[in-house]
Structure 1
Amino acid sequence: MLKKLPSVRALRLWLMESGVKTNGLTGWLSLALGLYLLLGSPRFVQGQNVCANPRFPGDFSVDKAKICVGSSVNIVGVPANLISAQYNFEYDGKSTIDKVTLAPTKAHTYSTPGSYTIIQSGTGNGAGTGTIFCKEVVVLPVDQVKFTVNVCSGRRAILVPDGSTLGQYDSYEIRWGDGTVERKTRAELTNQPAHTYSNSGNTVYTIALQGVYNPPADCKSTVSQSTPISLIGAATQPTISALKTTSDNTIDIDYQANTGIAVQLYQKVNGAYVSTGKTSTGGGTFTVQTDAKQVQCFQVVTQDACNSTPVKSDEVCSLVLDAKAANKQNNLSWQAYAGTATQFRFYRIRRNGVVNGQLTSRTTTTYTDANDITCGTQYCYSLEATVGPTTITSQQVCVNGINDGTPGDIEGVVVSIENNRPRIVANLPAASLSSTFTLVVSRASGSSGTYQQVGTLVNQNSFVDESADPAAGSYCYQLSYQSACGLSSKPSEPVCSVFLNSNSPKGIDWSASSPFTPSTVAEYIVEVIDSVNNTKREIRVSSNTHLDLTDADLESQTQKYRIITASSDGTVSYSNFYTFRSEVKIWLPDAFTPDGDGMNEVFLAKGIYLDQFRMTIFDRWGEVVFTTTDKQQGWDGTVNGQRALEGQYLYRIEVIDQTNLKTVRTGGVLLVRSKR
């Protein structure tokens, strides 16, 4: 068909816009010329479908209106009086008949799917020359329908189609490989059909799938096939044959299951079993990273792609063994076996790999090995439990044997602050002293604190606590003596460092806890270290724990002190150093009378511990009337040599003291002149 032409009115408007006058004969000639040019221009010529409303219709039929790619369509039913008929089997629907390549052939094979127009051109059929007739043919694709196969227990297979390859097929034919052929609709195929094989042998099967078109196409896709599959029998209960703890965080689990059966390991967490994510097929070993110092429980569970009901093994739990050495014996303990109790048979205790004892009660949780224990010899134990077909083995634990008398008590301890750290010295128990021993040092913050181990000493009796800060408070210590065989004395009586600080503006204070055992405090001596020349003097204060400082002591703004504690047997202990700092002091009058009578003539600041000084005087309007950095100089009540007016003035005094701290004082002073 020709493209729809524009109206004459529109053409006239176009010509007017182009500057062509349309009135009169000249205008109409111009319009006619425009129409000619417009209609005759090649860009307005468009091909038409000659199949639509042919002047002389022909006639024919095809043997199939729908075929598959690769199939042929044949022309049939051509009227006898239609002569010189020729055909094009892939008419494009827009070319004129004289532009179409025609041939007398009546059969054609299509290689590409789609919808095609067959055009017939001839003469006769009761009409003149140029008869035209067309028919549509649909060519369908024959692409493979892809799929995978899940093999499940119970000799079942599930076909899982690839939904993107289902195509336009009307149904799907499954050949299961054992002679069974099933036809499925699209919905049935999407639901993943399953097949159970009756043959009980070890036959390997190949499954085939083909898409099928209904008549008139009546053709099929190319066949897709699975890889050969081996069937799996019905799942039986899997078994955990061994569970062994190999380290503080590793457990190995040996298991058995049917050949080809997939299994998954589950672990009990907060009372419920959850998947560990570890899977395998048949038998093997799972290695689990977990807190093996706590009892851990497991199950092996069957699983397959068909969501068959899982079969679970019996619950199997680990064993955690603890061993402690005592004099002439080693004591073992554990938690009663927590797995399936009905199959419990016995415990075995192994010492250095050899069975040392056997217990038949599941609820027994202790064992004592007193068989020839030698001091210093290492003994390594493991605990086994036999539960049905399962052997559970704990991690091996080792202790050093003890065969010795209990050590005597530590005879005396002293703590003193030296080089700004507590140093503890112990008098060892002479009766049981051996060439190899260990001192265990425990510490508490203050006399009411909880003791915690802070260090050990091997073959030494003096310990320096590097982690303590004596200026922060008093620390108390206890020591215990361990012999070469690991036997310990009872902890010593506590000793506490003397802590010096200040609880009042003019005094120092120190803690009263004793730094000696078994001696007691006889007296305290206050050591005074001169802050200028570093000389020392001592003040004996008997049993007092407070010292008031005299004015003489406060002549320097800072003074260093230390407490020397003397015991009744003459032993001494030193406290921390403490520097006492006095606050800067400034005295100022609230009024002065610069009237020449010789009394109270100057406004002067007085103080102690003043190092740097600045005083500024302001009038009521905030103007500076006087300033000085000389602490001996005051304001005489003049401004620029003239007598200042009576009244209130403001001052600001800034002081840097002997410890380099800044102090600022502000206030008001009244200038008064007496009447004469």
Structure 2
Amino acid sequence: MKTLLLFVGLSISFAGFSQCPCFNVQPDSVGCAPYSFTVKDCSKGSVEYVYETNGTSTTLTTHTYDTPGLYFVTQSGNFTCGSTATIKKIKHSILVKPTPNPQLTSFACANNKAFILANDVQYDEYIFTNSNNQKDTIKKGSSGVIDLNFSPINIQGNYISGKCGGQTTLISSANVTLPNVSISKLILNEDFSIEMFYNGVSSEMYQIQIKDNVSNNYSIYDTIKNSSLQSFTLKALNKDKRYCIKIRAVDFCGQTGSFSNEICTVVMKGSAIAEKNNITWESISNGSSFSIDVNGQSKNDFQLRTQPRSYSDTNIKCGSIYCYKISETTIENAISTSNKVCLTAISKKKPVSISELSTSVKSGFVSLDWTSIISLFNNYSIFNSSDKSQYNFLGNSNATSFIDLINNPSVNQSCYKVSYTDNCGNTSDLSPVSCPVFLYGNVIDASIRNLVWKPYIGWLDGVKEYIVEKVDENGNPYSTINVGNTLEYVDKGLDTVEQVINFRIKVVSNSGKISYSNVWKALQKGNFNMPNAFTPNGDGLNDTFHAEGLFITEFNLEIWNRNGEGVFATKSFRQGWDGKVNGQNAPVDTYMYKVQAIDKEGNTYKRNGTLQLIK
């Protein structure tokens, strides 16, 4: 039996009457299985008791319930209370509770202590008694720390109502040593949260302490519990303060290990001025070395200065974005990385002008191309002149090319210059001039054409040669003549390929660059000849009467005899009369003909005449 500390008996009676049913239970009406109790009569009558459901009456006053449950004891007897004597009964309940072994959660701590979590809801409280008979009590749902130096520890589960319960034994395990821990890295994020990386044991708890540069006193920030990440992020911090952090192992009993190394944030600020990005940073700790990261590339070629430390970056391009971070390596070889600061470089310097501009006539328009000096720009401006003296604004381009849709390169020679404005608003000087070849000429007669051109201007390496090209209507050359560095050419002879001869000049630089002039057109008239006689005798010579000529696209020939009767007609320039009429040889005679022809340019030619048919 367990020791019961307090008993409050329960008695039931009827006041104002004698010899009425009355009894109580001792030691209590609540107990633990197996529960033995005694009933004590207070009616002063002759009584019997029933202890079990459907049980028999007995005068025994002691009984034991072996299993947990709710039981009822009934007292009966011939009582005289009331108006008449009669058999009366009274019933009293007995609650018998189970006594399982306590099931508690314990955590081993340093210095041979244990943290107990009373998460077993069976009992109201748990009483711990060590070998020196020292006691500690932990209420259900709460926790406590137990000293294991006097083991074994008896754990008694206790129902407050009943003062009993099951028990078990807690034996001391191996003593726990809190591990050492070190911080390896600290990163100050752009939102000014702090990401901390540490070298610890994943099953341990670690207490984070933090101080700022104002209060300079450490306080507990949080406790890391059973984390396998080996990292922790501190949030809701003041961006205007600098912080130092250290951590230490802590157990469930509140005992702590040694502090880690101290590591502090590095706070960076920056400003962009003309041709320079200035970076400053402050750190509470005295780092052994610093490195600067610029756009992901580490730079170590800078001089450290006293607080606040600073760095000026002059290796910058206007309009480019540069992002900086500072990493401080402490004497414990831990690394603290600052927040990232991004600056857009600015400049007041006039940018270098474009060194070379290329121009060429393509599809009837002047096309300009050039090479960009810098990778970032705002806008290119194109200027045009017809006399190489006064240059007027023509248009803008965001690319390194431009097509002049305004000036006709077949009318005169146009010359061009280009400037640009960088992302800092600085405008370069105009580039050197570039002028494509301007070709013109005149037709001396049907077989002589005189070509003259103005030279190409603009290539730094100069012109190697000019090539006179004849091109078809699709721009494909079918005749080329290299004329070296001369600026004129006389084209002789009848061109039998095209009625309209399209001339252009191809220019080649000493480095192989190509430019083309405008196209100059020389018109050849369409022509045809009609014989005045033919001999259709089958000897293969002059057997047909037909036209000969060039560039005729439409043709109509009609022939009549002297009686005005039609003997032949055709619309084919290549088809002639074979001297037959309805399959029979026409007689030798004089015949009349009429011809109408149209050439490729739409010119119409009409001719009437006579012909002799000779055998």
TM band (smaller chain):
0.3 to 0.5
Per the normalisation by structure 1, the TM-score is 0.36
Structure with bigger helix share is: 1
Q: Which has more radius of gyration?
A: 2
Per the normalisation by structure 2, the TM-score is 0.39
